[in-house]
Chain A
Amino acid sequence: MRVLLVEDDRMIGQAVQTALRQDGYAVDWVRDAEAADTALSAGRFDMVLLDLGLPGRDGVWLLRTMRGRHDTTPVLIVTARDEVSDRVAGLDAGADDYLVKPFDLEELGARIRALLRRSAGRGESVFEHRGVRIDPSTREVSRDGEPVTLSPREFAVLEALMLRPGAILSRSQLEDRLYGWGESIESNAVEVYIHGLRRKLGHDFIQNVRGVGYFVPRTDAQEDR
């Protein structure tokens, strides 16, 4: 999952970035609204974590700009101002949820997961597909009831694939979800993670279309090969 973090405070930005990376998100961090706008125009993000109080143009401006060009990327706003009017202004400008500073890392994680779930059109917090169960909140994975241990990046790849079974994700799309800007990408990293996942979940669980990408087949019946 690729998250755009828009935060002007160095320490908060640093801490959030570190925490989200530990959770397996790819995090890109920008420090003002205009840089965020550029980033959003250039690339695809699964969600935006937006501080409303930014130098220059503020977070509400970014929200309006995004929604103005029909960018529906989920946005979680973070604000130090806890007046109801500020939160209402943010939500009305197109935010999906909000957090008031200071906030807890665990709460941030839970809200991000909820937002991602809703944007994928799912109500339930646990995904189950062909005997494999993943719980994004606890990051627990099991196969036919047996716990499976995954590295954070293996989990991120699996989560991306299971979010929309049947959808093919290219190697670069998967890399996008794994790495933020400035993180070094090993050339065969995705293959390594896919290999690990297949070893732990069964070879057939993830399939690839050569030259196109990887996918999790929707159901046995719908497999068309």
Chain B
Amino acid sequence: MKGTSIRARLLLSLLPLFILAEVVIGTVSYRYVLNESHELFDYHLRQMALSLRDQGAVLPPPGPPEDREQFDFVVQIWSADGSKIYLSHTRSRARLPERATLGFADVVTDGERWRVYSTLARGRVIQVGQPFEVRERIAASAALRSITPLLIFAPIVALAIWWLVGQSLEPVERIASELKRRDAQRLDPVSEDRLPAEVEPMVRSLNGLLERLRRAFETQRAFVADAAHELRTPIAALKLQAGLLGRARDEASRSEALRELNAGIDRSAHLVDQLLTLARSEPQARATPAAAQAADVDLARIAGDAVAEILPLGEAHGSHIEYKAPEAAPLQGDASALHSLVRNLVDNALRHTPAGSRIAVEVAQRGGAVCLSVDDDGPGIPVDERERVFDRFYGRTAGDAAGSGLGLAIAKAVVERHAGSIELDRSPLGGLRVLVSMPRQGGAPA
């Protein structure tokens, strides 16, 4: 709010406008009144001169100047021989020119501007004059009168602006204080009623953000709850296995119990690894922008490495893993994430197929995409389950294959980060086909 207070901006921009308006109004009314008074006074001058002419010689005697000062008219009458017959004002200031132009004339005497009307009558010259200053004074006072109400009104307008801005921004203040009172857990939307139209879009976007945050938090919370629950099972197994080891009485049962305990520890470690991989792969859980991990990588090489790594496991399982990559498959991506993608898919195939199965991994370019397919000749996945297997911990129910239930969830997260798609289908080998397709170039991870 600092720096650009709406209140201060309104006041600072409206008050000069107000002053400008006053200047304009003052000037306009000054000019108008001046013009009007010219006409009016000119008429007066003329009437006065004409009436003096018609009156003949009867003239008011030159009286004390104070009385006539207010009229500001000076009358001067000449005789035909040029001698001054009458001068209404004796003051030195009020001196009309010695020579007369008949009709209206503007003359300057002693630095003072006069409006003079002269007329000829029976050998006399009658001159009636008035200083311009009088007319200007009248115009000025008229102008001042016209702007006075505005001047009085100015502070009222300023106060009104202050108050109105405060009133209009009250909802903003209300929302601000409502938000201030919230803790990190409260992400329900801010009330949208009684909002001015200008503030509503802001509040609506804020509510949109809150909603997205709430959903992200919920996903995260569910994930933590799921993870804790899933960790409980291997830990329960560990506890029982340790208990068995403790009560083993002979060497054979002790080594058996130890073997089981080791397998249990391996399983727990695997689950923790998978949880970490998933946490790193999920776009919303990433602290660093995905682009930071993006580099030019070759999926063919990454997949080759991953398959080579898992090959001994396949042999131990009695299964045959084939790998085919006819050409390099360049894409923009995160090498370690793609590695875990391939590993998880092959691992998944191994876990869900009986011993002696065939697993075929292939990397190829198709159009603008890099494709990875993992085929097996196992039992496959029924069509109605194909969506759900991507859910975290779904695969755990698959009985013997003591997987973490996270493999496909990890694969999906990685693929989504690379703006690709992952599909399950029936494999030509008879089992499951997992088909991943990611943009070949310009496909920065989303």
Contact = CB atoms under 8 A, between A and B. Distances in A.
A106 B239 contact: no
A185 interface: no
The residue in B236, B238, B243 that gathers the most chain A C-beta atoms within 10 A of its C-beta is: B236
Contacts of B402: 9-11
Interface in B183-237: 229, 232-237
Interface residues of A, number: 22
B229 A81 contact: yes
Contacts of B234: 11
Nearest to A81: B229
A15 B237 contact: yes
A9 B232 CA distance: 12
B237 A104 contact: no
Given A80-B233, A102-B235, A15 B399 contact: no
Contact of A12 (B237, B263, B398): B237
Contact of A101 (B233, B241, B257, B399): B233
A10 B260 CA distance: 11
Contact of B239 (A14, A81, A103): A103
The residue in A11, A16, A56 that gathers the most chain B C-beta atoms within 10 A of its C-beta is: A11
B244 A11 contact: no
B26 interface: no
A102 B241 contact: no
A105 interface: yes
Given A11-B402, A15-B260, A101 B397 contact: no
Interface string A180-191: 000000000000
A31 to B, nearest CB: 6
A151 B381 CA distance: 48
B267 interface: yes
B240 interface: yes
A21 to B, nearest CB: 11
B180 interface: no
Contacts of B267: 11
B399 A104 contact: no
B247 interface: yes
Given A55-B397, A101-B232, A101-B233, A11 B239 contact: no
Interface string A1-26: 00000001111101110110010000
A106 B244 CA distance: 10
Interface in A88-132: 101-106
B239 A104 contact: yes
Interface in A6-52: 8-12, 14-16, 18-19, 22, 31
B299 to A, nearest CB: 34
Nearest to A19: B244
Nearest to B239: A102
Interface string B390-416: 000000011110100000000000000
Contacts of B257: 18
A15 B244 contact: yes
Given A11-B264, A12-B233, A104 B243 contact: yes
A56 B397 CA distance: 8
A80 B247 contact: no
The residue in B243, B267, B400 that gathers the most chain A C-beta atoms within 10 A of its C-beta is: B243
A105 B238 contact: no
A22 B247 contact: yes
A18 B244 contact: yes
Interface in B132-147: none
Given A10-B400, A10-B402, A15-B260, A105 B236 contact: no
Contacts of A80: 229, 232-233, 236
Given A80-B236, A103-B236, A19 B243 contact: yes
A16 B399 contact: no
B317 to A, nearest CB: 16
B236 to A, nearest CB: 4
A35 to B, nearest CB: 11
Nearest to A108: B240
Contacts of B260: 11, 14-15
A15 B241 contact: yes
A105 B241 CA distance: 9
Given A8-B397, A10-B400, A19 B237 contact: no
Given A18-B257, A101-B235, A102-B235, 12 more contacts: A9-B236, A10-B400, A11-B263, A11-B267, A12-B233, A12-B237, A15-B243, A81-B229, A102-B236, A103-B236, A104-B239, A105-B240
Closest 8 CB pairs of A and B: A55-B397, A102-B236, A15-B240, A105-B243, A11-B237, A101-B236, A102-B239, A80-B232
25 contacts: A8-B397, A9-B237, A9-B402, A10-B399, A10-B402, A11-B234, A12-B233, A12-B240, A14-B260, A15-B237, A15-B240, A15-B244, A15-B260, A16-B240, A19-B240, A19-B243, A19-B247, A55-B399, A101-B236, A102-B236, A102-B237, A102-B238, A104-B239, A105-B240, A105-B243
